[in-house]
Amino acid sequence: MKKTQGNWESSSSSHFITIEGIEGVGKSTAITFIRDWLTEHGLSVVVTREPGGTEVAEEIRRVLLNTHKEPIYPETELLLLFAGRMQHIQEVIKPALQAGKTVLCDRFIDASYAYQGGGRGISDHFIQMLEQEILQGLQPNLTLLLDAPYHVSQLRLQQRSHTDRIESEHEAFFQRVRAKYLKRAEQSPERYRVINAALPLPKVQRQMKEVLHDFF
């Protein structure tokens, strides 16, 4: 049996799960934990990320995250992200869902609203136009928002040997991004689950496990 995802069909056994949050909230650790949980429960899992996920999209990722002498304008950044997203959807996400697999993705469309909308100040209307054309109704079934205050994320980022172009942004930028994420979570409670990522790891994992149990 098939189920509709926008203008296309996916398998009834497929699931699309996204992990969102600002830098330093522990997304990579969370994705490993969730992947292992899903696998232990008998699901076939495809782990991927944005920007990136395909050969072409990974090249776009390098452009987006590297520092350049030439400025990258907010609209350029957004269009590059959607170019990579188109490749990602067609080459990875859609085929996996149609094959009945669970797709676990590090960031997706919500990140564009948070970073380029909230952070860069691009209007939701402009992002929505691109979303409508590129996603064709595709939406995650479940989004886990790992939320932590800015000072917590920065303490964790300081432990990294290198920060990319986005990670090097100023506090006001990340405060706007976080606020936009929380607003979207409030607007879509049927899809979003907010995880308190400022807590110790065992408590964060306990929250995620409860969400997964409830969802499945």
Percentage of the chain modeled with pLDDT above 90: 85
CA distance 104 to 85: 15
Cβ distance 182 to 194 under 8 Å? yes
State the residue range of the domain holding 81: 2-215
For residue 74, what are its two tokens? 């907010």
For position 62, which CATH number holds? 3.40.50.300
Indicate the pTM of the whole model.
0.92
**Structure confidence by residue, pLDDT tens digits, 131-156:** 999 999 999 999 999 999 999 988 88
**Which residue, among 198, 203, 206, has the nearest Cα to 156 in the 3D structure?**
198
3-state helix, strand and coil shares in percent for the chain, rounded to the nearest 5: 50, 15, 30
Split into its structural domains, the chain has a count of: 1
- Label residue 3 by pLDDT band (50, 70, 90): low
How large is the average pLDDT for residues 80-95? 98
Q: In what order do the strands lie in the sheet with 142-147?
A: 45-49, 102-106, 15-20, 142-147, 192-196
For residue 204, pLDDT over 70 is answered with yes
For residue 1, pLDDT over 50 is answered with no
- Label residue 5 by pLDDT band (50, 70, 90): low
CA distance 85 to 50: 7
